Amino acid sequence: VLRNAVHVEEAEVEKCVRDVMKEKKIEQKDTGFKTNLHISLLQISGYKKLYLNVENLRKVPYDSDNEEHEEQLIELWNLLMPHESLKARITKQWCDIGFQGDDPKTDFRGMGLLGLVNLVYFSKHYTNEARQILSHSNHPKLGYSYAIVGINLTEMAYSLLKNGALKSHLYNMVSGLPQMEHFHQFYCYLVYEFDKFWFEEEPESIMHFNQYREKFHEKIKGLLLDCDVILTLQN
């Protein structure tokens, strides 16, 4: 009964709680146990559902013929570079916010639309911080490619969700169903903390990026081992 209960939809949780209590001969009027089990089952099944939603977004390739995709890309530019207009859709200007070439769509290959949605979310909800970090990324000695690193951190957030490392964080943060919003919030935390980490570490050059990325990844994995952890960027 319990094994089945962790795979149920939200609407079926109430029935599962009753079934488990009946099976374990726990009084139905034990409201404390009932409430806690209800929340726990929502969190467990919700985590699985959140992973599927994130994975589905990751599987959507960036499509330059899709108006919504293009609008989000332009929105990203406008949020980060409010005083400078794009001269064309395909332009070297994209390098100013850390893309590799003159058409950002090629940089989204690994993480699909998820990479773009994350970048836009951070720029929209933490606009000042995003512009500040973009400014840091243009540092003459310690600079890095803002958008490329952002997509790389999407991969980190995604892999931590996929392997279950985000469970304690999300269970502590949400007493119910975790939503896509909560994944985006964790991503924002990663972007903000990575920028601090990078400048504290003072790498010799961007050529050492993978080494420092791995060090940062290990740091985050260590923090997530704390069963009381909540990693969020406060607005």
Between the alpha carbon of residue 164 and those of residues 109, 160, 170, 221, the distances in Å are 24, 6, 10, 11
Asked whether residue 85 carries a pLDDT value surpassing 60, the answer given is yes
Number of residues in the chain: 235
Phi and psi angles of residue 207, each rounded to the nearest 5 degrees, phi first: -65, -20
Asked whether residue 13 carries a pLDDT value surpassing 90, the answer given is no
- Among left, alpha and beta (phi > 0; psi -120 to 50; other), residue 62 is beta
- Among left, alpha and beta (phi > 0; psi -120 to 50; other), residue 202 is left
Residue with tokens 């995604």: 158
Reference 228, options 160, 186, 167, 169; nearest CA is 169
At residue 235, the pLDDT reads 53
Q: What mean pLDDT, rounded, does the chain reach?
A: 93
At residue 42, the pLDDT reads 87
Distance in angstroms (rounded) separating the CA atoms of residues 33 and 67: 49
Query: Whole-prediction pTM value?
Result: 0.91
34-38, 116-120, 134-138, 159-163: range with lowest mean pLDDT: 34-38
At residue 65, the pLDDT reads 95
Q: How confident is the model at residue 147 (pLDDT cuts 50, 70, 90)?
A: very high
At residue 234, the pLDDT reads 66
At 169-206, the pLDDT tens digits run 999 998 888 999 999 999 999 999 999 999 999 988 88
At residue 124, the pLDDT reads 97
Domain boundaries, the chain: 1-59, 65-225
Asked whether residue 123 carries a pLDDT value surpassing 90, the answer given is yes
At residue 8, the pLDDT reads 76
Give mean pLDDT, residues 119-138: 96
Distance in angstroms (rounded) separating the CA atoms of residues 227 and 169: 8
